[in-house]
Amino acid sequence: MSHHAPLNEDIIPGSDVSRDLSDETLMALIQKQDQNAFAILLQRHSDRFYSLAYRTLFSQSDAEDVVQECFLKLWRKPDIWKADSKATFTTWFYRIIINACIDKNRQTKPVTPYDEVEILDENSDSFERLSSQQQEDIRQKRLTLALQKLPERQRTALNLCFYEGLKNQAAAEVMDINLKALQSLLMRAKTSLKNDLAKTQGET
Amino acid sequence: MSIDDPELEKQLISLSVPKKSPLLEQNILALATAEQSAQDALKAKSVAPQLTWASFFRSIFSAPQVAMAFSVILCCGLWMGWSLPTDSTGLLIDASTIELASNGNTTSFNYDDFVSSDGIYEGDLF
């Protein structure tokens, strides 16, 4: 096995590490410092974990930083993954990403990508005269702000269950809470979002 | 998971995520490779032999020619030591002993018998 093969984006001509290997098998190889296995795992999941990080942080650069830090941590200390764990790799790594996002939020001032005043301007008469694309942009901004206003745990629960498609039980495991607590977080998140959006839509 | 409100669900689905940098994965892989190389270098350094007197002599005598030369020198030394003059009791005569021949017999005189401890001549040697 070529442990120190040069790496590039189109892995790995001549590598004997198959792309069909499961995440858990790749992790076992990574624990033996197999860079090709690491490259395959990274390419397989970086989009997914980046999306989760972005939906938590609402900053592209911060989300990229988190993904980079987490994967490098995995490379440096692959033994933090326990092969006999019941959790799948993705469930386990979701938790690492979420914790890193929480740390990032504590370190940096939360990002507000849009000026709230700008969004409230949609209530003016000129909103009707905007193109459908512009109206859609405003709706997206309004939704983003509503999501940002959600408490961190509610937003995480929504991200895992709605955007990442995890079952409630799996999401509860990621967040290290019981199923009822997760359902409660989801319910409150939906209610808050509906209320927030209805309020701004009502003002339109 | 489905949201009970179709309008909210539609909006949530439409919420886009900006594409990540195309260099992100390459950067991570490059950093991982660099860290691996640094670790390998560190390991190589830690297992490199340190020069000690023991390793110095071991390396010298591990060469067959040196070992052979050392053996020859050792044998010569032993032979010379065996052939050194001895007194009647078989003990090696001290290096400061002066040998004199008298009537074909070898008689030994110890130089120290005639010289005081501070090096001054105290008697007749002959």
What is the 3-class SS of B71-82, one letter each residue? HHHHHHHHHHHH
pLDDT at A162: 92
Q: Which two tokens stand for residue A68?
A: 């980079």
By C-alpha distance, the chain A residue nearest B23 is A9
pLDDT of A73 higher than 70:
yes
3-class DSSP state of B97: strand
* B110 sits in which H/E element: strand B105-110
Nearest to B12 among A46, A64, A162 (CB): A162
Interface of B with A in 17-36 (CB under 8 A): 17-18, 20-21, 24-33, 35-36
**Nearest C-alpha of chain B: how many angstroms from A165?**
6
Mutate to test the interface with B, among A11, A12, A32, A42 (most CBs of B within 10 A): A42
Q: Which of A10-19, A48-57, A68-77, A122-131 has the lowest average pLDDT?
A: A10-19
Of A20, A17, A19, the residue nearest A29 (C-alpha): A17
**A197–B contact, CB cutoff 8 A:** yes
User: Which residue among A35, A143, A161 places its CB closest to the CB of B36?
Assistant: A35
CA distance A85 to chain B (A): 25
Check: complex ipTM more than 0.95:
no
Query: Tens of pLDDT along B32-42?
Result: 999 888 888 88
pLDDT at residue B92 in the model: 58
pLDDT at A3: 43
Say if the Cβ atoms of A161 and B1 lie within 8 Å: yes
User: Which residues in chain A are contacts of B4 at CB distance < 8 A?
Assistant: 190
pLDDT in tens, A181-200: 999 999 999 999 988 887 76
**Residues from chain A contacting residue B37 (CB–CB below 8 Å):** 4
Q: Which residue matches tokens 């490199």?
A: B48
pTM: 0.67
The beta-carbon neighbor of B26 closest among A9, A147, A186 is A9
Put simply, the answer to whether B31 touches A139 (Cβ < 8 Å) is no
Which stretches of chain B score pLDDT less than 50?
Answer: 98, 101-102, 126
Q: d(Cα B93, Cα B95) in Å, to the nearest integer? A: 6
Q: Quote the Cα angle for A54-A56-A115, to 5°.
A: 80
User: A residues 89-148 near B, CB within 8 Å?
Assistant: 136, 139-140, 143-144, 147
The verdict on a CB contact (< 8 Å) between A64 and B33 is no
Residue B1 has a pLDDT of 65
Total Cβ atoms within 10 A of residue B20 = 19
Distance, in Å, from the CA atom of A17 to the CA atom of A1, rounded to the nearest integer, reads 8
A72 contacts in chain B (CB < 8 Å):
28, 31-32, 35
Residues in B closer than 8 angstroms to A64, CB to CB, are 20-21, 24
CA distance B8 to B14: 10
